[in-house]
Chain A
Amino acid sequence: MSTPNASGNVLLTHAVGLHARPSVKLTKLAKTFGASIDIAPGPDGPWIDAKSIVRVMGAKVPQGAYLHFRAVGQDAAAAVAALIGLVERDFDDTPADAASG
């Protein structure tokens, strides 16, 4: 990825980490943006494609990790802001449906 147009990080507080349901939500949201978006469990990577559920789940990010985002493209800033927002809102998970997380 060339120099990112936007980047940011957020503490992953979801009760069980970046599991199936949160990963599905995150990749679905990422795909709504034209920018290419990378995600990493630390500031030094490894950077993975935020639009690939296989890669995002494969990273097996536990709760308590800082998720780092970087994006390149027209809507890069909006993409990073939206993804951080999703994590901050705990993936819009209600306690009632977090069990199968």
Chain B
Amino acid sequence: MIPPPTPQAVEHRGRPAAPGVAAGPLVRLDRTVARRKASNDPRKECEDLRAAVAAAIAEICELAGKVGGDGADILEFQIAMLEDDVLIAPALDRISAGSDAVSAWTAALAAQIADYEATEDDYFRARSADLRDIGDRIVRHLAGEAEAATPEGAVLAGEDVTPSRFLSVDWSKGGGLALRAGSPSSHVAMLARSRGVPMVVALGAIDLDGHATVIVDGDAGLVVLSPGEREWAAFRTARATSEARGAREAEAAMKPAKTADGVAVSVMINVADPDELDRLDPAISDGVGLVRSEFLFHGPAGLPDEEAQYRAYRRILEWAAPKPVVIRTLDAGGDKPIDGLTIDGESNPFLGTRGIRLSLAKPEIFKVQIRAILRAAVHGNAKVMLPMVTVPDEIDAAAALFDEAMHDLIEAGAACRMPPLGIMVEVPAVAVAPALFARAAFFSIGSNDLTQYVTASARDIAAVAALNDPAHPAVMSLIANVVRVGREIGRDVSLCGDMGGDPAHLPALVAAGLRTVSVAPPLVGRAKLAIAAIGAAP
């Protein structure tokens, strides 16, 4: 491609939402300001609105036939909404009251959109994007505008993108997304990741005027408008690197991890929401090294009941079976408050009632989780670990609750199984003296909290973030200590913090004797490659 001479290149940083790099012509996503001449005849306005709805339904049906899979589901929902007269009725009322079709439709839909946006539930709030999408499409039809064709390899840039707009583009020819707003957890971000479309969100109020070409770096969260010679050179390098790395990582992810000198290392995955597993091949991991059960406790319905928890754990266990799944009991408190559960107003929540301390303080809530785990455990290879353990008594207290729940379930004739009970090693007191905790069936090092407690620095406080270094010799020496003692007393040791997926730290961890790490799913390939490089001749 030939770099345009003007204007000057501008770089903007946002949040990476889908990996990879792309460059292409800038296509603005700004809402079309459709112009339509009102007829002043309410009957004609109603007819036009109904015709626009019918045309939109036909258009979305055709699109749904092309895209298939998860994209088609979103479109099927939009079709069902448009087919429901309840959606259109308020607009028809407004037309009867003297409004024109576009104003009536826009106002009626705005009320629906506002209703969804006012919801606390992320999922329902995100449906406002579907409604906007539907709304825009109808307005386009009323104005008689055809959908603007997107040139091949274009980068769509603007405020946010609707699912149907995303799905209307043929991404096989490249292209990307650069959004001022948006979120990595949006429907579109999910689609972009599964289709390999580089995407950067949360760019803020960037000015797109006067720019014709864009580079999107979805790995770095970087967007370059009107790139110059220097930026194109950097893009070519980044693209080559990204493609080569993506291919190598995807290949490596499917194989067992082994260092160059032949040491096998288990790579497991951390899971928060069972939905994450739908797009993952169980073959990429040696199991689930950490289930962040607190994900279940953030729903709008309040604390999850036993059935909801049972289903979630069971789904993860069945996905991974026969490989192990380590369910961490509720780790609330600290930076993870939960309404109605964690204790408000503690002077220092990180040193307060969090993790197992909270669970033992609220046994009625803990026992619901325990029962769900015991019942789900019959469906796979379950293990349980307790977070924030500080003294061995906490293991005994938790084990007593597990025994009690097991007894009750057997009494009631419920299928259940007692999984091994291990602990997180994240409080320095445990890392310094792990032998005191031999009551635990295994140790899993939580390197994020361990680092924060050992260095007395939080990584979300910018002024001290540099001190929060997992490579600090004190942290590494404690990790080595846990691994050594674990080996002596016959307890498996794994690590489930961020450093386990970081190529910069893996050599030291493996050198310390660690043989199991658990990482975020997209990091599996990267971690396995880093492991394969360990011990190779320089």
Contact = CB atoms under 8 A, between A and B. Distances in A.
Interface of A: 11, 13, 15-17, 19-21, 23-24, 27-28, 49, 52-55, 57-58, 60, 62-65, 95-101
Nearest to A51: B84
12 contacts: A13-B311, A17-B300, A24-B80, A27-B80, A27-B84, A53-B83, A57-B124, A64-B301, A64-B302, A64-B308, A97-B70, A97-B278
B304 A64 contact: yes
A45 B124 CA distance: 20
B121 interface: yes
Interface in B56-91: 70, 73-74, 76-77, 80-81, 83-84, 86-87
B115 A95 contact: no
A95 B307 contact: no
Contacts of B70: 97, 99-100
Contacts of A60: 116, 119, 121, 124, 300
A34 to B, nearest CB: 18
B363 interface: no
B419 interface: no
Contacts of B115: 58
Interface string B371-391: 000000000000000000000
B274 A15 contact: yes
Contact of B307 (A11, A16, A17): A11
A65 B119 contact: no
Contacts of A53: 77, 80-81, 83-84
A13 B307 contact: yes
B301 A99 contact: no
B190 interface: yes
A53 B123 CA distance: 16
Given A54-B81, A62-B121, A100-B187, A15 B87 contact: no
Given A52-B84, A64-B307, 16 more contacts: A13-B308, A17-B300, A19-B124, A20-B73, A20-B74, A20-B77, A21-B76, A21-B77, A54-B86, A57-B124, A58-B115, A63-B308, A96-B278, A99-B279, A100-B74, A101-B275
Nearest to B312: A15
A16 B123 contact: yes
Nearest to B315: A95
| Interface hub of A23, A52, A54, A58 (most chain B Cβ within 10 A) | A54
A99 B190 contact: yes
Contacts of B302: 64
Contact of A19 (B80, B84, B123, B278): B123
A98 B278 contact: yes
Contacts of A99: 70, 190, 275, 278-279
B87 A54 contact: yes
A99 B193 CA distance: 13
A64 B305 contact: yes
B319 interface: yes
Interface string B301-326: 11011011001100100110000000
Contacts of B127: 20, 57
A99 B189 CA distance: 13
Interface in B483-506: none
Given A13-B307, A16-B123, A97-B73, A63 B299 contact: yes
A8 to B, nearest CB: 18
Contact of B311 (A15, A27, A57, A96): A15
A68 to B, nearest CB: 16
A13 B314 CA distance: 13
Nearest to B76: A24
Contacts of A28: 80
A13 B506 CA distance: 41
A20 B124 CA distance: 9
B328 to A, nearest CB: 19
A100 B73 contact: yes
Given A21-B73, A24-B76, A95 B300 contact: no
* Complex A-B, nearest 4 residue pairs according to Cβ-Cβ distance, in ascending order: A62-B301, A20-B77, A99-B278, A54-B86
B281 to A, nearest CB: 12
A11 B127 CA distance: 23
Contacts of B305: 64
Contacts of B304: 63-64
